[in-house]
């Protein structure tokens, strides 16, 4: 693993009108690692991801990629860097098959017709490279897939386009035990193959099972980023709920304010 983070955010602020959603967020994400981004509802996780992916412009702060300052003002800018987000709704089309979904909007053509064989080959190679064995027929419609299979297709779609950083928003939500295990194995494999992975999850068992680092957001501030082996389950819960756990987090629990200010923050995710 390189000592230089693939992605580094420094002092990121973001407000929507009078409501400040992110305050001085500093985050580093390394290749070959899974960084779990945790926080309660209203902590700012979704807003931070949308800033990274270019959906929301930041108000201030630095955005570095491979140690170089860059500007990410749109999803196109993020995609050019190799940043891809797999949202909880997966953004898959039920009426299309696996290959069509993986190439949606980026279809390969041979003259005036689609190059179906090339797309099938690329899709198959991607699935094989990720060790995905739960999908048996590439022309199967997504509507007929299980929740776990849908998640693997969405992740494979991101990897197909040479992504270097994949952000996964609650990838195991609403999955059964067996399907969750399959998806977690795939997420771990992404990092083992050299990609940087950011995992957003409320499931602490998942977080501790596959993450290398844990970054905790509390009311819009990143209160701690530590190696998973250096923190306990109870400490993570304390960081999520109070922004502080022993020497970790805020020096003073009241640093973010109380009363109406805290109520306003709680309304933002």
For position 133, what pLDDT does the model report?
79
Give me Rg for the CA atoms of the chain.
Answer: 19
Backbone angles phi, psi at 100, to 5 degrees: -60, -35
User: What are the DSSP calls for 23-80, one per residue?
Assistant: EEEEEEE-TT-EEEEE--TTSSHHHHHHHHTTSS--SEEEEEETTEE----SHHHHHH
What length is written for the chain?
269
Burial 94-124 (b: 16+ CB within 10 A, else e): eeebbbbbbbeeeeeeeeeeeeeeebbebbe
* Torsion, Cα of 239, 243, 249, 251 (10° steps): -150
Domain boundaries, the chain: 1-82+164-171+197-269
Give helix 116-129 / helix 147-160 axis angle, nearest 10°. Answer: 110
For position 269, what pLDDT does the model report?
39
- Return the CATH number of the domain spanning residue range 1-82+164-171+197-269: 3.40.50.300
Backbone angles phi, psi at 89, to 5 degrees: -80, -5
Burial tier of 251 (Cβ tally within 10 Å: 0-12, 13-18, 19+) = exposed
For position 136, what pLDDT does the model report?
80
User: What are the DSSP calls for 124-155, one per residue?
Assistant: HHHHHHTT--S---TT-BGGGS-HHHHHHHHH
List the beta bridge partners of residue 86.
Answer: 168
Model confidence, pTM: 0.85
Per-residue pLDDT of the chain (269 residues; tens, 9 = 90+): 568 999 999 999 999 999 999 999 999 999 999 999 999 998 999 999 999 999 999 999 999 999 999 999 999 999 999 999 998 777 889 999 999 999 988 889 988 899 999 999 999 999 888 888 778 889 999 999 988 888 889 888 888 888 899 999 988 887 888 888 888 999 999 999 999 999 999 999 999 999 999 999 999 999 999 999 999 999 999 999 999 998 888 755 444 443 333 333 333 33
Please state, in angstroms and as integers, the Cα–Cα distance from residue 170 to each residue in 83, 124, 167, 198, 200, following that order: 17, 25, 10, 10, 5
Q: What is residue 97's DSSP assignment?
A: B
- Tokens 């400040």 sit on residue: 20
Q: Is residue 56 within 8 Å of residue 47, measured between CB atoms?
A: yes
């Amino acid at each position: 693993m390189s000592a230089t983070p693939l992605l580094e955010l420094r002092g990121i602020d973001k407000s929507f009108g009078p409501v400040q959603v992110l305050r001085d967020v500093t985050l580093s994400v390394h290749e070959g690692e899974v960084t779990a981004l945790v926080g309660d509802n209203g902590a700012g996780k979704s807003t931070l991801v949308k800033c990274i992916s270019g959906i929301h412009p930041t108000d201030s702060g630095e955005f570095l990629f491979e140690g170089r300052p860059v500007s990410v003002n749109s999803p196109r800018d993020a995609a050019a860097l190799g940043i891809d987000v797999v949202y909880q709704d997966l953004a898959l089309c039920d009426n299309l098959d696996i290959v069509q979904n993986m190439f949606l909007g980026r279809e390969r053509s041979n003259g005036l017709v689609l190059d179906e064989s090339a797309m099938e080959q690329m899709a198959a190679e991607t699935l094989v490279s990720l060790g995905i064995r739960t999908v048996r027929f590439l022309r199967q419609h997504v509507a007929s897939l299980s929740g776990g299979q849908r998640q693997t297709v969405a992740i494979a779609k991101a990897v197909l386009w040479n992504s270097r950083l994949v952000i996964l928003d609650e990838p195991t939500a609403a999955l059964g035990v067996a399907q969750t295990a399959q998806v977690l194995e795939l997420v771990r494999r992404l990092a083992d193959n050299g990609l940087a992975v950011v995992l957003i999850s409320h499931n602490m068992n998942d977080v501790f099972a596959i993450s290398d680092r844990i970054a905790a957001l509390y009311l819009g501030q990143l209160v701690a980023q530590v190696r998973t082996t250096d923190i306990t389950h109870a400490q993570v819960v304390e960081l999520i709920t109070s922004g502080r756990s022993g020497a970790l987090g805020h020096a003073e629990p009241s640093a973010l304010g109380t009363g109406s200010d805290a109520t306003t923050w709680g309304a933002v995710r």
